Copies of this chain bind each other. A is one copy, B any other.
């Protein structure tokens, strides 16, 4: 029987940290003894506990500790993080530590250093001289990078439950369909404005349904009016947005009537060809040929966008980043400063972006399919809000609220 002491502090009961610690130990067949427990007597007062964890043997104890550290447990005895160099490019030393999406601190030379670019399933590279640490995907690891290994000297800070009611659900994937109420949309709009006020950025991740439903004009307005700081999408969104600006259709369907336009099935290829003729979307705007829509407003307003490629793409447009690893890098660059993400009707892009976000970024998922909303909300995000509705309903409503509250 091997034992080790852990510590937990903060709002560990209602943030589900302590229940998860007990849950994990029992599920893994371990045992525990609570050595000290000081409960926060008031709503805002933190709690504290020291618990002795018991495993069958060293390996079992280590496995349990590995899980507990990810949940937020720390080991009271101060230990330095272990570091080992990467043996070659894109290759890791054995027993490397893989990250969660919660803020993480590394013990180097007797001090705690916060890892930058927090994101899950990465490794942590330490620069001893500069006393910095950063989360890095395996594809960006270079030979000799010092990688954190083992479980020592690592502190994870899971998010705490807000002390009051919030429309963003805490660690909860429950999604109720059919309730995009006025007041819910108002609270999302307020959050957008709060983020902007404190200098944060708002990211929109949008799928082609935004255009198919005719809601792209509202998103274009939101971009024009300064409510959107970054846009992530795929080739299809840009193609159909430009198709609509040039021909009034989306995938050949007249958006106003919902009926296929005559000869419309070729419009998306025509739109691609017009961009090709101009050289790029930017040039199509500059030549005055593209006069409206989401991409037009992004370019006019200098809102950065990342169009990431997929194997379904037709064309694709010149601005599309066809290498997926390059596209990930481009998205990571633009995520700096993002505090709120609106994910609009795209499963692939939402999952991909969700993987790149730290747990403290607020996310709103809008999709007509409840299963997609459940899937997206259920990814360990601390403050997620799933809205089961048509984006064609959501976008005009939120834009109206944004304008009203701002005025």
Contact = CB atoms under 8 A, between A and B. Distances in A.
Contacts of A60: 262
A360 interface: no
Contacts of A308: 311
A371 interface: yes
Given A26-B161, A310-B311, 20 more contacts: A13-B13, A14-B23, A26-B43, A29-B164, A34-B41, A35-B41, A62-B263, A67-B262, A98-B265, A98-B269, A137-B314, A139-B315, A174-B378, A178-B209, A178-B213, A311-B331, A313-B324, A316-B325, A323-B324, A389-B390
A368 B392 contact: no
Interface string A288-325: 00000000000000000000111111111000001111
16 contacts: A23-B161, A25-B43, A37-B37, A37-B39, A88-B276, A98-B266, A167-B258, A178-B368, A178-B391, A179-B258, A311-B324, A311-B352, A312-B352, A322-B325, A368-B388, A389-B392
A244 to B, nearest CB: 13
A272 B178 contact: no
Interface string A15-44: 010110011011111011111010111110
Given A138-B273, A273-B91, A22 B13 contact: yes
A399 to B, nearest CB: 15
Contacts of A287: none
A194 interface: no
Query: Interface size for chain A: under 10, 10 to 19, 20 to 34, or 35 or more residues?
Result: 35 or more
A351 B259 CA distance: 24
A307 B23 CA distance: 38
A60 to B, nearest CB: 7
Contacts of A371: 369-371
Given A98-B269, A161-B23, A165-B26, A63 B263 contact: yes
Interface in A141-195: 161, 163-165, 167, 173-174, 177-184
A1 to B, nearest CB: 14
